[in-house]
Amino acid sequence: DSGVTQTPKHLITATGQRVTLRCSPRSGDLSVYWYQQSLDQGLQFLIQYYNGEERAKGNILERFSAQQFPDLHSELNLSSLELGDSALYFCASSPHTGASYEQYFGPGTRLTVT
């Protein structure tokens, strides 16, 4: 158990819908990273927040957005969902900002878009 929690575990929704994925980092960690894992694209970095502020963006679509709240939990919002958005979404937490430090992954949310 990494200490990072994610909800829900599974999510099934229809094309065009909007969903919110939630992540709570390990106690004391200020950074939250979001990753998407799919069979064709592998593990891809989406976005990072540090202590409530957006710090870095990766391959995140404009239909996706995220935020980090004062209690440091983070939410990833996915809208206008397409079949190709079906994937495992992981968050990872780290005590520091910048990708030169250990990142600990949560259990993931499996999103299925039908």
Partner 1 sequence: GENVEQHPSTLSVQEGDSAVIKCTYSDSASNYFPWYKQELGKRPQLIIDIRSNVGEKKDQRIAVTLNKTAKHFSLHITETQPEDSAVYFCAAGGGGADGLTFGKGTHLIIQP
Rounded Cα distance between 44 and 73, Å, is 21
Shortest distance, CB of residue 16 to partner 1, whole angstroms? Answer: 27
| Inter-residue contact 8 to 109 (CB < 8 Å) | yes
Q: Is 86 in the site for partner 1 (CB under 8 A)?
A: no
Name the residue with tokens 């229809």. Answer: 14
The whole-angstrom distance between residue 94's C-alpha and the CA centroid of its chain comes to: 13
Q: Which two tokens stand for residue 15?
A: 């094309």
Applying CB under 8 A, the span of 15-23, 48-56, 70-78, 79-87 interacting with partner 1 comes to: 48-56
Candidate residues 23, 29, 35, 72; the one interacting with partner 1 per rule CB under 8 A: 35
Rounded Cα distance between 6 and 22, Å, is 6
Q: Is 33 in the site for partner 1 (CB under 8 A)?
A: yes
C-beta of 80 vs 102, nearer to partner 1:
102
Name the residue with tokens 């158990």. Answer: 1
Q: Is 44 in the site for partner 1 (CB under 8 A)?
A: yes
- Residues making contact with partner 1 (CB under 8 A): 2, 33, 35, 42-48, 55-56, 58, 90, 97-108
